[in-house]
Amino acid sequence: MASNAARAILKQGKSVLLICDMQERLAKAIFEFDKITQNSAKLINALKLLDVPMIVSEQHPKGLGKTVSALDISGAKGPFEKTQFSMCTPEINKELSTICSGQKPDSVILIGIESHVCVENTAIDLRQNGFEVHTVADCCSSRTQEDRLLALERMKGMGCHIVTSENVIFKLLADAKHKQFKNIQSLVRTPSQYTGLVPLSKI
């Protein structure tokens, strides 16, 4: 149990955010896209304050468009074009190998679409390559809620940590004495958008 808890820790300088295919022409087809975009924007803005490096992919951007403008990906590596479903292309794998001050990260924070296709295939490859994977459930979706929920269940089964955007932010922040605490506090003052993962009757 202790070892599992240790692996669930996220640390500045040893973590990276992967932003998978959050593209313009997919927006209307994805379940709760606007809400996962708002949650993703909050997460990205917080991780920028915490100096967490980011890598962005775009699936066939000529057909599916660019990353949505609501996400500030300035300073991120990429966007890297791809046709394979996993983000673990040779170009992105190369970036991963040195992205944390010349070293590979211990942990990968994973967001994007579609949960059951590109996100899940990325998670599979990352786990096979020895990374701890934190899949951010309220920042991932699919065209249907069924595919989304089953994908999150499968990713949990393969050893991914299924987390929320605020869980990630506070794990990285770690201490209210952190120099960015007040700035982070202003970002999280408004709760994350509800995206249907937990029945309202249980909230």
> Would you please indicate which residues are annotated as catalytic (active-site) residues?
21, 82, 118
Q: How many residues does the chain have?
A: 203
For residue 76 the two structure tokens come to 């991120």
Residue 60 β-bridge partners: none
Chain centroid offset of residue 181 CA: 21
Distance, in Å, from the CA atom of 107 to the CA atom of 119, rounded to the nearest integer, reads 15
Distance, in Å, from the CA atom of 92 to the CA atom of 107, rounded to the nearest integer, reads 15
Q: Comparing C-alpha atoms, which of 47, 46, 81, 35 is closest to residue 61?
A: 81
For residue 125 the two structure tokens come to 């490859």
SS3 163: strand
For residue 193 the two structure tokens come to 């958008």
Distance, in Å, from the CA atom of 85 to the CA atom of 29, rounded to the nearest integer, reads 18
Alpha helices (H) along 61-102: 61-64, 90-98
For residue 167 the two structure tokens come to 């869980």
